[in-house]
Structure 1
Amino acid sequence: MSYILGRQYVWVDATHLHIWSAEGYDGWDESSWAKGFEPPSDRRSAAFGLPGGVSLRQKVADEYVVMRMAELVANGELGPVMDRALANHGANSGCQALSQHASSLRTALAKVP
Protein backbone atom coordinates (compact mmCIF):
# COMPACT_ATOMS: atom_id res chain seq x y z
CA MET A 1 0.00 0.00 0.00
CA SER A 2 1.27 3.47 -0.87
CA TYR A 3 1.08 5.96 1.97
CA ILE A 4 2.70 9.07 3.39
CA LEU A 5 2.93 9.35 7.17
CA GLY A 6 4.04 12.49 8.95
CA ARG A 7 2.39 15.90 9.32
CA GLN A 8 0.31 14.76 6.36
CA TYR A 9 -1.11 11.25 6.42
CA VAL A 10 -2.17 9.99 3.00
CA TRP A 11 -3.46 6.41 2.81
CA VAL A 12 -5.98 4.18 1.05
CA ASP A 13 -8.58 1.66 2.05
CA ALA A 14 -10.54 -0.61 -0.29
CA THR A 15 -12.32 2.24 -2.08
CA HIS A 16 -10.97 5.65 -1.07
CA LEU A 17 -7.82 7.74 -0.75
CA HIS A 18 -7.75 9.54 2.62
CA ILE A 19 -5.87 12.77 3.24
CA TRP A 20 -5.37 13.98 6.81
CA SER A 21 -3.23 16.97 7.76
CA ALA A 22 -1.89 18.18 11.10
CA GLU A 23 -1.71 21.61 9.55
CA GLY A 24 -5.43 21.95 9.88
CA TYR A 25 -8.59 23.24 8.39
CA ASP A 26 -8.36 24.89 4.98
CA GLY A 27 -11.82 26.43 4.69
CA TRP A 28 -13.08 23.92 2.13
CA ASP A 29 -16.67 24.18 3.42
CA GLU A 30 -16.74 27.92 2.73
CA SER A 31 -15.73 27.54 -0.91
CA SER A 32 -18.14 28.11 -3.78
CA TRP A 33 -17.49 24.48 -4.76
CA ALA A 34 -18.88 23.09 -1.46
CA LYS A 35 -21.92 25.36 -1.47
CA GLY A 36 -23.11 23.73 -4.70
CA PHE A 37 -23.79 20.37 -3.02
CA GLU A 38 -26.89 19.17 -1.24
CA PRO A 39 -26.91 16.25 1.19
CA PRO A 40 -27.30 12.95 -0.70
CA SER A 41 -30.90 11.82 -1.02
CA ASP A 42 -30.57 8.41 -2.64
CA ARG A 43 -28.96 5.24 -1.29
CA ARG A 44 -26.13 5.21 -3.84
CA SER A 45 -24.96 8.73 -2.97
CA ALA A 46 -25.52 8.29 0.75
CA ALA A 47 -22.88 5.56 0.80
CA PHE A 48 -20.27 8.20 -0.01
CA GLY A 49 -21.45 10.79 2.51
CA LEU A 50 -21.35 14.56 2.34
CA PRO A 51 -18.45 16.39 0.73
CA GLY A 52 -15.87 16.64 3.49
CA GLY A 53 -12.43 17.14 2.07
CA VAL A 54 -11.09 14.02 3.80
CA SER A 55 -11.34 11.30 1.17
CA LEU A 56 -11.59 10.72 -2.56
CA ARG A 57 -12.78 7.65 -4.40
CA GLN A 58 -9.62 5.78 -5.40
CA LYS A 59 -10.45 5.90 -9.11
CA VAL A 60 -10.69 9.72 -8.94
CA ALA A 61 -7.35 9.90 -7.10
CA ASP A 62 -5.78 7.64 -9.76
CA GLU A 63 -7.05 9.93 -12.52
CA TYR A 64 -5.58 12.95 -10.71
CA VAL A 65 -2.25 11.15 -10.25
CA VAL A 66 -1.80 10.48 -13.96
CA MET A 67 -2.78 14.04 -14.90
CA ARG A 68 -0.36 15.44 -12.32
CA MET A 69 2.38 13.12 -13.56
CA ALA A 70 1.88 14.46 -17.09
CA GLU A 71 2.29 18.02 -15.76
CA LEU A 72 5.48 17.04 -13.91
CA VAL A 73 6.86 15.46 -17.09
CA ALA A 74 5.96 18.53 -19.16
CA ASN A 75 7.66 20.84 -16.64
CA GLY A 76 10.75 18.65 -16.25
CA GLU A 77 9.98 18.15 -12.55
CA LEU A 78 9.24 14.42 -12.40
CA GLY A 79 12.84 13.35 -11.67
CA PRO A 80 13.23 15.59 -8.59
CA VAL A 81 9.79 14.56 -7.28
CA MET A 82 10.67 10.87 -7.71
CA ASP A 83 13.96 11.50 -5.88
CA ARG A 84 12.13 13.15 -2.96
CA ALA A 85 9.60 10.33 -2.74
CA LEU A 86 12.37 7.73 -2.73
CA ALA A 87 14.31 9.64 -0.07
CA ASN A 88 11.34 10.32 2.20
CA HIS A 89 9.01 7.32 1.91
CA GLY A 90 11.14 4.28 1.13
CA ALA A 91 9.58 1.94 3.69
CA ASN A 92 6.15 1.53 2.12
CA SER A 93 5.25 -0.76 -0.76
CA GLY A 94 4.24 2.09 -3.06
CA CYS A 95 7.69 3.61 -2.76
CA GLN A 96 9.29 0.19 -3.13
CA ALA A 97 7.40 -0.18 -6.42
CA LEU A 98 8.66 3.27 -7.45
CA SER A 99 12.20 2.22 -6.58
CA GLN A 100 11.85 -0.96 -8.63
CA HIS A 101 10.54 0.93 -11.68
CA ALA A 102 12.30 4.31 -11.31
CA SER A 103 14.97 3.58 -13.89
CA SER A 104 12.45 2.37 -16.49
CA LEU A 105 10.17 5.32 -15.79
CA ARG A 106 13.02 7.79 -16.15
CA THR A 107 14.13 6.17 -19.44
CA ALA A 108 10.62 6.03 -20.91
CA LEU A 109 9.65 9.52 -19.81
CA ALA A 110 12.90 11.05 -21.05
CA LYS A 111 11.67 10.24 -24.56
CA VAL A 112 8.43 12.18 -24.11
CA PRO A 113 8.57 15.46 -26.04
Structure 2
Amino acid sequence: MFIVYLSLVIVIFSLAYLAFRAFKTYKDMKPALKSLNETSVRLQGRMELLKEETTHLTQTQQAIADDVQLKKESVQYTMDSVKAVPASFKQVWYAVKGMNVKNPAVSARKRSGLK
Protein backbone atom coordinates (compact mmCIF):
# COMPACT_ATOMS: atom_id res chain seq x y z
CA MET A 1 0.00 0.00 0.00
CA PHE A 2 2.96 2.26 0.61
CA ILE A 3 3.91 2.06 -3.07
CA VAL A 4 0.43 3.21 -4.12
CA TYR A 5 0.61 6.26 -1.84
CA LEU A 6 4.14 7.03 -2.98
CA SER A 7 3.03 6.79 -6.62
CA LEU A 8 0.05 9.02 -5.89
CA VAL A 9 2.33 11.63 -4.25
CA ILE A 10 4.73 11.49 -7.20
CA VAL A 11 1.84 12.01 -9.66
CA ILE A 12 0.50 14.95 -7.61
CA PHE A 13 3.97 16.55 -7.40
CA SER A 14 4.45 15.96 -11.14
CA LEU A 15 1.14 17.67 -11.93
CA ALA A 16 2.00 20.54 -9.59
CA TYR A 17 5.43 20.92 -11.21
CA LEU A 18 3.81 20.79 -14.67
CA ALA A 19 1.34 23.54 -13.65
CA PHE A 20 4.18 25.63 -12.19
CA ARG A 21 6.29 25.31 -15.35
CA ALA A 22 3.28 26.02 -17.61
CA PHE A 23 2.48 29.19 -15.63
CA LYS A 24 6.13 30.28 -15.67
CA THR A 25 6.35 29.64 -19.43
CA TYR A 26 3.14 31.61 -20.01
CA LYS A 27 4.46 34.45 -17.85
CA ASP A 28 7.75 34.48 -19.79
CA MET A 29 5.94 34.42 -23.15
CA LYS A 30 3.48 37.19 -22.26
CA PRO A 31 5.77 40.08 -23.38
CA ALA A 32 6.56 38.28 -26.63
CA LEU A 33 2.86 37.68 -27.30
CA LYS A 34 2.10 41.32 -26.54
CA SER A 35 4.83 42.40 -28.95
CA LEU A 36 3.46 40.08 -31.65
CA ASN A 37 -0.04 41.48 -31.16
CA GLU A 38 1.24 45.06 -31.44
CA THR A 39 3.15 44.15 -34.59
CA SER A 40 0.04 42.52 -36.01
CA VAL A 41 -2.02 45.66 -35.31
CA ARG A 42 0.61 47.86 -36.98
CA LEU A 43 0.71 45.59 -40.02
CA GLN A 44 -3.08 45.61 -40.23
CA GLY A 45 -3.04 49.41 -40.17
CA ARG A 46 -0.47 49.52 -42.95
CA MET A 47 -2.51 47.06 -45.00
CA GLU A 48 -5.57 49.30 -44.66
CA LEU A 49 -3.49 52.31 -45.71
CA LEU A 50 -2.19 50.41 -48.74
CA LYS A 51 -5.73 49.41 -49.70
CA GLU A 52 -6.86 53.05 -49.51
CA GLU A 53 -3.88 54.22 -51.56
CA THR A 54 -4.51 51.49 -54.13
CA THR A 55 -8.14 52.57 -54.44
CA HIS A 56 -7.09 56.22 -54.79
CA LEU A 57 -4.49 55.35 -57.44
CA THR A 58 -7.02 53.27 -59.37
CA GLN A 59 -9.49 56.17 -59.36
CA THR A 60 -6.76 58.60 -60.44
CA GLN A 61 -5.66 56.25 -63.21
CA GLN A 62 -9.25 55.98 -64.48
CA ALA A 63 -9.65 59.77 -64.38
CA ILE A 64 -6.42 60.20 -66.36
CA ALA A 65 -7.49 57.58 -68.90
CA ASP A 66 -10.86 59.33 -69.34
CA ASP A 67 -9.13 62.71 -69.73
CA VAL A 68 -6.70 61.30 -72.31
CA GLN A 69 -9.61 59.78 -74.26
CA LEU A 70 -11.50 63.09 -74.21
CA LYS A 71 -8.46 65.02 -75.40
CA LYS A 72 -7.75 62.41 -78.07
CA GLU A 73 -11.29 62.78 -79.39
CA SER A 74 -10.94 66.58 -79.29
CA VAL A 75 -7.68 66.49 -81.25
CA GLN A 76 -9.19 64.02 -83.74
CA TYR A 77 -12.18 66.34 -84.28
CA THR A 78 -9.82 69.29 -84.79
CA MET A 79 -7.70 67.31 -87.24
CA ASP A 80 -10.80 66.30 -89.22
CA SER A 81 -11.90 69.95 -89.32
CA VAL A 82 -8.44 71.04 -90.50
CA LYS A 83 -8.49 68.39 -93.23
CA ALA A 84 -11.85 69.72 -94.45
CA VAL A 85 -10.56 73.32 -94.76
CA PRO A 86 -8.91 72.95 -98.22
CA ALA A 87 -12.09 71.58 -99.79
CA SER A 88 -14.20 74.34 -98.23
CA PHE A 89 -11.66 76.94 -99.35
CA LYS A 90 -11.79 75.59 -102.92
CA GLN A 91 -15.59 75.84 -102.91
CA VAL A 92 -15.47 79.42 -101.66
CA TRP A 93 -12.74 80.28 -104.18
CA TYR A 94 -14.70 78.83 -107.06
CA ALA A 95 -17.85 80.61 -105.90
CA VAL A 96 -16.03 83.94 -105.72
CA LYS A 97 -14.49 83.43 -109.17
CA GLY A 98 -17.85 82.39 -110.58
CA MET A 99 -16.66 78.96 -111.59
CA ASN A 100 -18.59 75.74 -111.25
CA VAL A 101 -18.80 74.64 -107.68
CA LYS A 102 -17.61 71.11 -107.31
CA ASN A 103 -20.18 70.27 -104.68
CA PRO A 104 -22.10 67.10 -105.57
CA ALA A 105 -25.37 68.56 -104.26
CA VAL A 106 -25.07 71.64 -106.46
CA SER A 107 -24.11 69.56 -109.50
CA ALA A 108 -27.13 67.32 -109.02
CA ARG A 109 -29.47 70.33 -108.91
CA LYS A 110 -27.98 71.69 -112.14
CA ARG A 111 -28.50 68.39 -113.92
CA SER A 112 -32.11 68.19 -112.80
CA GLY A 113 -32.78 71.77 -113.90
CA LEU A 114 -33.30 73.19 -110.42
CA LYS A 115 -31.68 76.37 -109.24
Q: Which has the higher helix share?
A: 2
- After TM superposition, the score normalised by the length of structure 2 is 0.20
* Higher RCO structure, 1 or 2 (CA under 8 Å, sep 6+): 1
Q: Which has the larger radius of gyration?
A: 2
- After TM superposition, the score normalised by the length of structure 1 is 0.20
